[in-house]
Amino acid sequence: MLMRFLTSLLFLAGVAYACADDSATARPAKIDFRRDVFPILSRRCWECHLGGDASAGLRLDVREEWLGETTGRPLVVIGKSTKSRVVEVVEARDPKVVMPAEGERLKPAEIATLRRWIDEGLAWDDELLPTPKVKSDHWAFQPLKRPPLFGNRTRPSPGEPSSTSSKSGDFGDNGIDEFIFAKHREMELSPADEADRWTLIRRLSLDLLGLPPSREDVEEFVADESPDAYERVVDRLLASPAYGERWARHWLDVARWAESEGYESNHPRPFAWRYRDYVIDAFNSDKPFDEFLKQQIAGDELQPYSEENLIATGFLAAARISSNEEDKWRQRNDVLVDITNATANAFLGLTMQCAQCHNHKTDPITTRDYYRLQAFFVTGQPVDVALRDPALRRDFEMRRPPEYEPALALRESLLESARRRFNDETRRSLTPDERAAYDTPAEERNFEQERLARLVDLKFQASVNVLDRYIPESDRKLYDETKKKIAEIEKSSPRIPQTFAFYSPATSPHRLDVLPSLGFYPLPFSREALPRERGGLKIRGDVHNIGPVVTAGVPAVFESSLVAPRQESPSTRHATESRTTSSDTSSSNARSAFLSPRDRATRLDLANWLTDPRHPLTARVWVNRLWQWHYRTGLVATSDDFGLRGAKPSHPELLDWLANEMIVSDWNTKHIQRLIVTSRAYRMQSRVERPELRDASQREKVPPESQFSTLSTHLSSFPRRRVEAEVLRDTQLAVAGLLERRIGGQSVGGPGDSLDVREKSNRRNLYLFQKRGQPPSMQSLFDGPNEASESCPLRNVSTTPLSALFLLNNEFAIRCGIALAVRIESLAGPDHERQVDLLFREVLSRRPNETEKLKARQFLDEETVKRSGGPATPNAPTPLQLLCHVMMSLNELSSLE
Contact between residue 711 and residue 690 where contact means Cβ atoms under 8 Å apart:
yes
- Who's near 730: CB < 8 A, 6+ residues apart? 210, 211, 739, 764, 765
Amino acid 55: pLDDT:
52
Residues 782 and 340: their CA atoms lie apart, in Å, by 29
pLDDT in tens, 423-471: 899 999 999 999 998 888 877 877 678 778 877 877 887 777 778 889 9
Cα dihedral 483, 488, 491, 495, rounded to 10, equals -50
Lowest mean pLDDT among 74-88, 131-145, 620-634, 714-728: 131-145
Residues 435 and 429: their CA atoms lie apart, in Å, by 9
Amino acid 331: pLDDT:
83
Q: Do the bridges between strand 536-538 and strand 895-896 make them parallel or antiparallel, or are there none, so unpaired? A: unpaired
User: Taking the domains of the chain in order of start, what are their residue ranges?
Assistant: 33-119, 175-241+623-635+648-714, 288-396+498-557+601-611, 401-493, 809-896
Whether 711 has a pLDDT exceeding 80, the answer reads: no
Residues 106 and 91: their CA atoms lie apart, in Å, by 8
Cα 579 off chain centre by: 23
Q: Which of 312, 319, 281, 279 is nearest to 295 (CA)?
A: 312
Whether 176 has a pLDDT exceeding 70, the answer reads: yes
Contact between residue 543 and residue 330 where contact means Cβ atoms under 8 Å apart:
yes
| Dihedral sign from CA coordinates of 297, 300, 306, 307 | positive
Contact between residue 507 and residue 603 where contact means Cβ atoms under 8 Å apart:
yes
Whether 525 has a pLDDT exceeding 70, the answer reads: no
Q: pLDDT: is 71 or 634 the higher one? A: 634
Amino acid 589: pLDDT:
31
pLDDT band for position 8 (cuts 50, 70, 90): low
Amino acid 133: pLDDT:
60
Amino acid 438: pLDDT:
87
∠ CA 144-150-151, rounded to 5°: 100
Whether 204 has a pLDDT exceeding 90, the answer reads: yes
DSSP at 529? T
Whether 811 has a pLDDT exceeding 70, the answer reads: yes
pLDDT in tens, 379-403: 999 999 999 988 888 888 888 888 8
Whether 590 has a pLDDT exceeding 60, the answer reads: no
pLDDT in tens, 733-780: 999 999 999 999 999 998 878 878 999 999 999 999 999 988 998 988
CA atoms within 13 A on the CB side of 124: 15
Mean pLDDT calculated for residue range 553-580: 50
Q: Which of 339, 336, 343, 274 is nearest to 309 (CA)?
A: 274
Partners of residue 724 on adjacent β-strands: none
Cα dihedral 539, 543, 548, 552, rounded to 10, equals 120
Residues 265 and 888: their CA atoms lie apart, in Å, by 38
Please state, in angstroms and as integers, the Cα–Cα distance from residue 564 to each residue in 164, 440, 475, 820, following that order.
26, 39, 62, 62
Whether 271 has a pLDDT exceeding 70, the answer reads: yes
The whole-model pTM stands at 0.82
Whether 566 has a pLDDT exceeding 50, the answer reads: no
- Rounded to 5 degrees, what are φ and ψ at 385? -120, 130
Please state, in angstroms and as integers, the Cα–Cα distance from residue 656 to each residue in 163, 259, 612, 677, 745, following that order.
19, 36, 16, 18, 38
Amino acid 468: pLDDT:
84
- Who's near 231: CB < 8 A, 6+ residues apart? 678
Q: Which of 886, 769, 671 is nearest to 276 (CA)?
A: 769
pLDDT in tens, 211-265: 999 999 999 999 999 999 999 999 999 999 999 999 999 999 999 999 998 888 8
Q: Which of 860, 859, 866, 834 is nearest to 848 (CA)?
A: 834
Amino acid 521: pLDDT:
58
Q: What is the overall mean pLDDT for the chain?
A: 83
How many Å is the maximal CA-CA distance in the chain?
159
Residues 607 and 580: their CA atoms lie apart, in Å, by 11
Cα dihedral 812, 813, 817, 823, rounded to 10, equals 50
pLDDT band for position 549 (cuts 50, 70, 90): confident
pLDDT in tens, 299-312: 999 999 999 999 99
Contact between residue 485 and residue 407 where contact means Cβ atoms under 8 Å apart:
yes
Q: Highest mean pLDDT range out of 11-15, 784-788, 802-806?
A: 802-806
Amino acid 125: pLDDT:
83
Residues 645 and 353: their CA atoms lie apart, in Å, by 14
Q: Which of 367, 372, 375 is nearest to 534 (CA)?
A: 375
Contact between residue 300 and residue 502 where contact means Cβ atoms under 8 Å apart:
yes
Q: Highest mean pLDDT range out of 138-152, 366-380, 586-600, 628-642?
A: 628-642
Q: pLDDT: is 19 or 63 the higher one? A: 63
Mean pLDDT calculated for residue range 93-98: 79
Amino acid 709: pLDDT:
43
Contact between residue 888 and residue 817 where contact means Cβ atoms under 8 Å apart:
yes
Q: Which of 311, 370, 332 is nearest to 503 (CA)?
A: 311
Amino acid 155: pLDDT:
46
Q: pLDDT: is 73 or 220 the higher one? A: 220
Q: Highest mean pLDDT range out of 100-104, 382-386, 425-429, 626-630?
A: 626-630
Residues 277 and 248: their CA atoms lie apart, in Å, by 8
Contact between residue 101 and residue 7 where contact means Cβ atoms under 8 Å apart:
no
Q: pLDDT: is 630 or 392 the higher one? A: 630
Amino acid 14: pLDDT:
54
Q: Reduced to 3 states, what is the DSSP secondary structure of residue 289?
A: helix
Packing angle of the helix pair 811-828, 725-735 (nearest 10 deg): 40
Residues 771 and 775: their CA atoms lie apart, in Å, by 6
Whether 873 has a pLDDT exceeding 50, the answer reads: yes
Pick left, alpha or beta for residue 256 (phi over 0 → left; psi -120 to 50 → alpha; otherwise beta): left
Q: pLDDT: is 7 or 436 the higher one? A: 436
Amino acid 15: pLDDT:
47
Whether 10 has a pLDDT exceeding 70, the answer reads: no
pLDDT band for position 141 (cuts 50, 70, 90): very high
Q: For a pLDDT cut of 90, what percent of the chain falls above it? A: 46
Amino acid 520: pLDDT:
55
Q: pLDDT: is 560 or 563 the higher one? A: 560
∠ CA 789-794-795, rounded to 5°: 75
Amino acid 563: pLDDT:
46
Amino acid 124: pLDDT:
86
